[in-house]
Amino acid sequence: MAQQAYVTETDDGGSGPEQRGSWFRRLLLRLRHGWRDRGIWRRGIVLAALALLLALVMLLHSHIPNTVGNLGSLTETFLPWLGLLVPVLLVLGLVRRSATALIMLVLPSVVWLNVFGGLLTDRTVGGGDLVVATHNVNADNPDPSGTARNVAASGADVLALEELKASAVPVYEKALAATYKYHSVVGTVGLWSKYPMTAVRSVDIELGWKRAMRATVAAPDGRVAVYVAHLPSVRVKVASGFTARQRDKSADALGEAIADESLQRVVLLGDLNGTMNDRSLTAVTSQMRSTQGAAGSGFGFSWPASFPMARIDQIMVKGVEPESSWTLPRTGSDHLPVAARVKVDMSA
């Protein structure tokens, strides 16, 4: 009688052991019967094809041409989010009771984990002797003074700001004066430092106005060439697709400037309006490392601040070692500030 009570559903629809046992037993019987059903292999062919296509897009994204609407760069900008299609296809495969679709889903799952699985772990090393930060403060920021105080509180030794409106520059200078003894503003970008800065100059990224600069920072453990850049914005339009031609041209010019740098230790801070996966930034990414990819925790998405979907604000290094990387709390901007701790003295 006890065994019979265990597999009988309760009349009141409760969730006691009898109902749970009955549900589990019915599921096992359905699965045993389903695998004998030849239709389970014939159903869901379209879902299986979509799973294969998803795997190929993630694996071969660099071969997607940019000739039509910069489709390749657009795909690469949001590439990590393609992983969300895996659970969607999984649910549809279960609904269709398609063994073919479920088995094929192994492919995109493995590809996504191979490409992005490492970003799910904490890669922070600890240590480091220089903290750097960058923030696109937004020209229409309603609270520039509060934004300046918030990023200064991060403990950054060197701070880069982008999209500085001329009328707001004095506000940032006043708010940051107590923390940073040295600073320079070139066009719409600026650099604040606790350590002396020399050889400050603008960097031509072929825009016709100044949105990039370079300075030598005399950090305690060695001189560092610090670049600040704000590459042109990109747009996604129905008619023309992903419009990024000017951004791509400026990225090439920035890459050339960094390649010609005489100092071995180089740090790039700024809003590059592109991710590390975007092939159009290869002139820069091919010679520098992302601190987030090397020593961050998670993806470190920085834009938009209300719901970050992409890491377009970058801290990249060459000749120094990333130790940790993180995003800072939201300010009055539509971007999140990002920071990193690096080791300048490589002999230690």
pLDDT grade for 2, boundaries at 50, 70 and 90: very low
DSSP label of 315: E
More confident residue, 28 or 3: 28
Residue 90 lies in a domain: yes
Residue 8 has pLDDT above 50, yes or no: no
Please check whether residues 329 and 182 belong to one and the same domain.
yes
Alpha helical stretches, state H, 97-198: 99-104, 106-116, 144-152, 169-176
Residue 298: inside a domain: yes
85 plus 145 within the same structural domain? no
pLDDT tier for residue 9 given thresholds of 50, 70 and 90: very low
Annotate 266-292 with three-state secondary structure: EEEEEECCCCCCCHHHHHHHCCCEEHH
Q: Which residues are CB-contacts of 57 (< 8 A; sequence separation ≥ 6)?
A: 64, 75, 82
Q: Of 88, 120, 152, which closes a domain?
A: 120
Residue 333: per-residue pLDDT? 98
Task: State which residues form the domain around 293.
Answer: 130-343
Q: Which of 71-75, 241-245, 291-295 has the lowest mean pLDDT?
A: 241-245
Closest CA to 214 of 232, 189, 231, 181: 189
What number is the average pLDDT over the span 270-276?
96
Q: Both 157 and 282 in a single domain?
A: yes
pLDDT confidence of residue 21: 60
pLDDT interval class at 243 (50, 70, 90): low
Tally the domains of the chain: 2
Q: Which residues contact 321 (CB under 8 A, 6 or more apart)?
A: 128, 342, 343, 346
Name the pairing type of β-strands 222-230 and 212-219: antiparallel
Sign, CA torsion 59/62/65/70: positive
- Least confidently predicted of 40-44, 99-103, 336-340: 40-44
User: What is the model's pLDDT at position 22?
Assistant: 73
Tokens encoding 254: 């920035």
Q: Which pLDDT score, from 0 to 100, does residue 235 have?
A: 75
pLDDT, tens only, 316-344:
999 999 999 999 999 999 999 999 999 99
Residue 32 domain-assigned? Answer: no
The verdict on residue 72 lying in a domain is yes
pLDDT band at residue 238 under the 50/70/90 scheme: low
Among residues of the chain, what percentage have pLDDT more than 90?
77
Q: Is residue 205 part of a domain?
A: yes
For residue 3, pLDDT over 70 is answered with: no
Q: Specify the pLDDT at position 12.
A: 44
Q: How far apart are CA 196 and CA 203, in angstroms?
A: 20
Examine the domain organization and report whether 70 and 137 are in the same domain. no
185, 108: one domain: no
Structure tokens at 211: 């949105």
The number of C-alpha atoms within 13 Å of 259 and in the hemisphere containing its C-beta is 12
- This prediction has a pTM of 0.85
Give the model confidence (pLDDT) of 139-171 as tens digits: 999 999 999 999 999 999 999 999 999 999 999
d(C-alpha 67, C-alpha 262), whole Å:
36
The average pLDDT across 115-121 equals: 92
- Per-residue pLDDT averaged across 200-209, rounded? 95
Residue 201 pLDDT > 90: yes
Q: What per-residue confidence (pLDDT) applies to 68?
A: 78
Q: Are residues 98 and 138 in the same domain?
A: no
Residues 69 and 167 in one domain: no
Q: Do 156 and 253 have their domain in common?
A: yes
Are both 211 and 321 inside the same structural domain?
yes
Mean pLDDT, rounded, of the chain: 89
Kindly state whether residue 289 falls inside one of the protein's structural domains: yes
Range with the lowest mean pLDDT among 32-46, 85-99, 171-185, 267-281? 32-46
Q: Is there a domain that residue 269 lies in?
A: yes
Same domain? 108 vs 147? no
Alpha carbon dihedral 249, 250, 252, 254, in 10-degree steps, equals 170
Q: How far is CA 286 from CA 67, 262, 273, 296, 299, in A?
A: 22, 18, 17, 19, 19
User: Is 7 part of any domain?
Assistant: no
- Of 12-21, 25-34, 61-70, 313-322, which has the strongest mean pLDDT? 313-322
